[in-house]
Amino acid sequence: MNVSMCSTSSDKAFSSYECFRGRNLCLSPSKSFCKDTIRVHNRCTRKVIVSSHLVPYHLEGSIPAKAQLNGTNGKLQHVRTLLIDNYDSYTYNIFQELTIVNGFPPVVIRNDEWTWRDFYHYIYQEKAFDNIVISPGPGSPTCSADIGICLRLLLECGDIPILGVCLGHQALGYAHGAKVVCAPEPVHGRLSDIEHDSCRLFDEIPSGRNSGFKVVRYHSLVIDPESLPRELIPIAWTSSADAVPFLVNQGSSSINGHDGHASQQVFVDCLPSSLTTRKSGPNCQTEKLIGEKVLMGIMHSSRPHYGLQFHPESVATGHGRQIFRNFADITKDYWFRSRSTPSRERIYAARMQMPDVNQLFQGVFGGHLASRMDDAKHLNLNDVAKLTNSSCNVKFLELRWKRLASLASRAGGSRNIFCKLFGDYKAENTFWLDSSSVEKERARFSFMGGIGGTLWRKLVFTLSNDSETALNGRGCLIIEDADGSSQSMHLEDGFFQFLNKELQSFCYDKKDFEGLPFDFYGGYIGYLGYDLKVECGVALNRHKSEVPDACFYFSDNFIVIDHQKDDIYIMSVHDKSTRGSTWLDDVEKKLLRIASHAKKNMESRTSQSSAKHPLNLGFSAQKSKEQYIEDVYKCQKFIKDGESYELCLTSQLKKKIGEMDPFGLYLNLRENNPAPYAAWLNFSKQNLSICCSSPERFLRLDRDGILEAKPIKGTIARGCTKSEDKLLKLQLQYSEKDQAENLMIVDLLRNDLGRVCEPGSVYVPHLMEVESYATVHTMVSTIRGKKRANVSAIDCVRAAFPGGSMTGAPKLRSMEILDSLENCSRGIYSGCIGFFSYNQTFDLNIVIRTVVIHEDEASIGAGGAITFLSNPEEEYKEMILKTRAPANAVYVTESSNALPVQ
């Protein structure tokens, strides 16, 4: 990659842009071959998918009729922002901040979504915006495919305030002739003290080392300060050459990353170096220039244009929101002063009249008819009967349930209950969302069931074989009912759209589930495979999954176990037009009979024997150790070139297993590696069983509309002794590399939730907490937000799928790179398992620590986040560590050749 390119004139920038606009294959010859390959596949499809990142946001009535003036000083009360997304995974963190500061949401477009004619129309003819913010993003401003329209905006829109963040900052420099070069050291997810010149952008913000103004950096490239032209003025720089990790203040229960202060962060200098340098790569310091201060901010001398190399929107950046407030104030002052400038009088007067931008906002965000039905279908069923006149697919559901208090332990626990009720014939066509680890209130409920009543259905979806087709969400869906009859259909719009329509079709009475302490009342239980990423913005899948891409049961009869209260709930949902079955009464009798014969709680935990290396247990690796390590180096090269901040590289181990009982395997796995989001799924006709012991929640939506994600980034083995175990836990907690990768994914998940949550509602109650499991310690964070009323459950999942902890950031570019490095489909691994209740609550895990049994072959996926600080040898060891528990469960099951206890 040529990292010293600079533009010497606007003609050069324009010619580059016009080449880009032509949608031809015009890739920078200085880019690496692998990146070119990735971009070749995406160039022909990028225009088609430009709006796939947008979640419907009904803005009619939320925009002022005119850009109102403050009565006392004549300044704008509201600021209308155009936010340009450079295909980044942090853009919607900026979106949330701007919405809070400006008073209503900005319009978000991707950098190749509008032509220059579109921009000119909305900026200069419609006068629709008061300022522009250019987002971060992967790549370099020297590559037209990475920066899109932004260079031309920076050069031609000299009379409108613009703020560029990270890539946008580099673009501001490059557009005016500065050089973009390799940073002394790539810095991703680490913090630096910032000094500034006290210009307007930094009003009320301290300056200098230990002042409390620490910022998060995600970048490999910087502007060479020696190359700055006269018109660009440096306004901020790092206080020293050192970037430091973020360590959570153990006394703080929550993190406020927008206007945070130094008191919310703890920087430990007295810890042993072994605790803070875990997995640091041997080459990460080779280019570091001792004593060098890195340029962190610039401004134009005569235009209201600013650039920031750091990320003010990060959860760990202090005073981030104040920066956005200051930019809004700069914008208001700019247009206020324009009134007295004759050359701008006409423009200012036009801006004071709010243009008719309803069509613009409707076009960008779209309507959401389903949201208007959402409130109606929560009313009494008699009140929504009129909906049948407009849709023959509306289903009126009625829920019946019974609670058997304090019976779970007397019935032998969840294992014994499942085996007695659903364990016949190797537990075929059954599910078990199994909270097998409930310590420290990590999980509370387990859900189990088999073939049910009249509403029971099995869905099996397989993507089209045409892997080269853009936006390939099309595929075949097979639907089977409880009688065994089936039908198939082609889904042109993909599985997510089908599932969304299904969930939207249910009507119910909320009184049916009043008093229930959980959020699943009947609905779909199953998995979403990783390759469904093509329905979430990725252009294509390079590899074809050997298993179906999604399988679900619609469960109408099932059991719920409350591990906290020791209660059992028997649940049955049916169409209101049909009579209920006797299933509740029949199962109650069975449970009472099981309890009368159970002598004690059958739940037990066997000690974990020393786990053997999977390759010594007959598993074969998709990649050799040497190839995996080489791929880690390739990831680091992509990161150094600015193509990604973090890449979650994975591989798979496989083994033929013959006649082994898959359900017996699952029982062994849950016994020796219990997890809060474990699961058993069996789809007998597909010869498919999933034995999952996942410790990670992907995403949950509860009945109060609260979304929660709990990403895991950072894993280390348990110690053999208490003292060793404690030391290893501390080593993980204070690892600079693990903190950096966790922070990057937290900011990514904040972005994903920010696309569907109310502005200002996304927060991080727990940051980088270490949780301990049977075989590993993990670093876990929690992100929550309040879902907007006009988005559906499926909108929320699509906004965040696949889970960012399994991709890296920025998500889209990272998935493209990973597809080019990995030599097979991930299949179910890296997807999610869980439920979608008929009332649109859901809870989904991340499929890790899992054995997938298909066609008499066991496969185990594993990987880890690669950053510039990664040590390739240690990354391979961590990948193998994550396969040990599942692989040993296979080995133990094969050795014992035992069937599950009945």
Catalytic residue numbers read 166, 311, 313
Pick from 854, 837, 553, 814: which is nearest to 691 by CA? 854
Say how far apart CA 241 and CA 247 lie, in whole Å: 19
Q: Please tell me the distance from the alpha carbon of residue 798 to that of residue 793, in angstroms, as a whole number.
A: 9
CA 615/CA 622 separation, integer angstroms: 11
Q: Output the furthest CA–CA distance in the chain (Å, rounded).
A: 93
DSSP reduced 3-state for 369 = helix
Residue with tokens 């199953």: 526
Q: Which residues contact 781 (CB under 8 A, 6 or more apart)?
A: 710, 711, 713, 742, 745, 746, 749, 764, 766, 767, 768, 769
DSSP type of residue 21: H
Amino acid found at 692: C
How would you class 725 by CB atoms within 10 Å of its CB: exposed for 0-12, middle for 13-18, buried for 19 or more? middle
- Dihedral of alpha carbons 516, 518, 519, 524, sign: negative
Question: What's phi and psi for 51, nearest 5 deg?
Answer: -100, 5
Candidates 180, 244, 660, 663; CA nearest to 429 is 663
Give the whole-angstrom CA distance, residue 193 versus residue 199. Answer: 17
Element (H, E) at 374: helix 369-376
Angstrom distances, CA of residue 158 to CA of 120, 132, 155, 427, 496: 13, 11, 7, 68, 43
Q: 616: helix, coil or strand?
A: helix
Identify whether the C-beta of residue 520 lies closer than 8 Å to the C-beta of residue 560.
yes
Point out which residues pair with 244 in neighbouring strands: 191
Give the end-to-end CA distance of the chain in Å, rounded to a whole number: 62
Tokens standing for residue 168: 């946008």
Check: CB of residue 530 under 8 Å from CB of residue 830: yes
Asked if residue 295 lies in contact with residue 225, where contact means CB atoms within 8 angstroms, the answer is yes
Question: To the nearest 5 percent, what fractions of the chain are helix, strand and coil?
Answer: 35, 25, 40
Token pair recorded at residue 473: 């969400």
DSSP 755-787: TTB-TT--EEEEEEEEEE-SSEEEEEEEEEEEB
* Among 307, 305, 170, residue whose Cα is nearest residue 236: 307
Extended beta strands in 418-518, E state: 431-434, 445-449, 457-463, 475-481, 486-491, 506-507
Q: How many residues does the chain have?
A: 902
- Which residues is 402 bridged to in the sheet? 570
Retrieve residue 865's tokens: 């986040």
For 353, counting Cβ atoms within 10 Å of its Cβ (0-12 exposed, 13-18 middle, 19+ buried), the class is exposed
Give the pairing of strands 81-85 and 131-134: parallel
- Give 120-126 contacts, CB < 8 A, sequence gap 24+: 122/82, 122/357, 122/360, 123/82, 123/157, 123/160, 126/355, 126/356, 126/357, 126/360
Sign of CA dihedral 79, 82, 86, 88: positive
Chain centre distance of CA 632: 22
